[in-house]
Amino acid sequence: MKLNKFLIFLLAANGLLAQHTTTAKIEIPKENGLHKMVLPAEIRSFSKEELGDFRIVDSKEIEVPYYVIPQEYIDKTPHFFSECKIISTNVLPKNKTTLIFENPKTSIDSIVLCITNSDVTKTYSISGSNDQKEWFGLVNNSKLSDLVNTEETVVFKTISFPLTSYRYIKFDFNDKKTLPINILKIGFFASKTTATALVEIQPKNIKFQQIPAEKKTRIYISFDHPQIVNQIHFKISSPNLFLRNTQIYVNKKKRINHKAVAFPENFSSFELNSNTKNTFTIPQFFGKECFIEIENQDNPPLTFSEIRFFQKPISVIADLKANQKYTVETGNSKLNSPDYDLENFKNRMGSNLPEVKIYDIKHEITQKANALKKSFWQQSWFMWICIGLGGIVIAFFTMNLVKDMKNNSTI
């Protein structure tokens, strides 16, 4: 019975260790609706690289769905309409309408038509020319429909076609069965590109090692915790002119004869060049340590005034309620990426969402990890086992001693 209770205790302790090890608070929202929050680098350090263990919960411990904005996300919300020059519009009654416009770009594969509301379907063909004399086909007998906008008097329709560099593009609309449609203008929606600032990551230590026999310089980098690095910037003070092949290595492990053996793996390569800014975007690195190897050949080693590390910020969007408390939980290695409905509506999310901050980050993993790192003879449960075994031994000898005394007294 006692053994069963002990096993149950161990299982319960193991369950506790498997829970979330990092928590944080979310700034209380001031309004209902979708909110954006940038994930601090510290949260990402203690989460899985793909954020599969990241969760948002409300005050009742109910999970709140969220959507991760990809790192390469660019705000492509249409901001203004850029018109193309319409060269001519010719209408042949009960036959066709021909519209020719000038292509302002080097190459295009789509155009936007601004059309007055119309509940008709049109057949059209598209051709291209560089001199307006000889025309070449791009699209033949395609259909244009859904020209009704219930909220506005006009509708914008994007027409796609094969990528082309023709200077002039011609639309021929078939008017044999229906009256012509009223095309007010033709052009493109210009998008606002938002450049998000990178987040700088501070290394714990940078150590330089010169290897004259191999004509190389090695730079060892370590971080306090696993970090995501997407970009490295080098500032080199001397010499004035240089061109050096450079590789980044990370330590990997493989099993040899049932033992885990560490070996360096080439992670990324580039050239340090005095004619460039020496800022390099690398494949995403997630770890605590790496080293950089520079081939000096017969040249003197480079002198570095600084080496800086950056990561692309990641944001999440969640539907939050005003004046409610929310918490971030992460660090549970047993969790996988959630599947929320919210991701299906990502194209409807605006670019100017209210933002809330994540703060008061706490890591319980430190205390638990320290406890796990202790030797078994330093653990409290081992002490109690020893005390129990000692008690059993003392009781055994005491019982034997009492039995011997009784036997001696009867003789």
Phi and psi torsions of 62, nearest 5°: -90, 130
Q: What pLDDT band is residue 359 in, cutting at 50, 70 and 90?
A: very high
Q: Are residues 233 and 300 in the same domain?
A: yes
> Residues 44-99: pLDDT tens digits?
999 999 999 999 999 999 999 999 986 554 444 455 788 999 999 999 999 999 99
CA distance 47 to 14: 20
CB 329 within 8 A of CB 73: no
Q: Where among 139, 161, 191 does a domain terminate?
A: 191
Q: Where are the alpha helices (DSSP H) in 172-220?
A: none
Q: State mean pLDDT over 278-286.
A: 92
Overall domain count for the chain: 4
Q: Are residues 217 and 126 in the same domain?
A: no
Report yes or no on 410 lying in a domain.
Answer: no
State the residue range of the domain holding 237. 199-311
Q: What pLDDT band is residue 6 in, cutting at 50, 70 and 90?
A: very low
Q: Are residues 178 and 116 in the same domain?
A: yes
Question: Average pLDDT, whole number, for the chain?
Answer: 84
Q: Is the pLDDT of residue 169 over 80?
A: yes
Q: Is the pLDDT of residue 1 over 80?
A: no
CA dihedral 374, 378, 379, 381 (to 10 degrees): 160
Q: Is the pLDDT of residue 30 over 50?
A: yes
> Residues 116-144: pLDDT tens digits?
988 888 999 999 999 999 999 999 999 89
Lowest mean per-residue pLDDT among 139-143, 181-185, 257-261, 359-363: 257-261
pLDDT at 33: 92
Q: Are residues 322 and 301 in the same domain?
A: no
Phi and psi torsions of 134, nearest 5°: -105, 120
> Residues 290-317: pLDDT tens digits?
999 999 999 999 999 999 999 999 999 9
More confident residue, 363 or 346: 363
Q: Are residues 231 and 335 in the same domain?
A: no
CB 102 within 8 A of CB 221: no
Residue entry with tokens 């000038």 = 102
CB 212 within 8 A of CB 280: no
pLDDT at 368: 46
CB 339 within 8 A of CB 307: no
Identify the CATH number of the domain in which residue 223 sits: 2.60.120.260
> Residues 10-25: pLDDT tens digits?
444 444 444 558 999 9
pLDDT at 223: 96
pLDDT at 150: 73
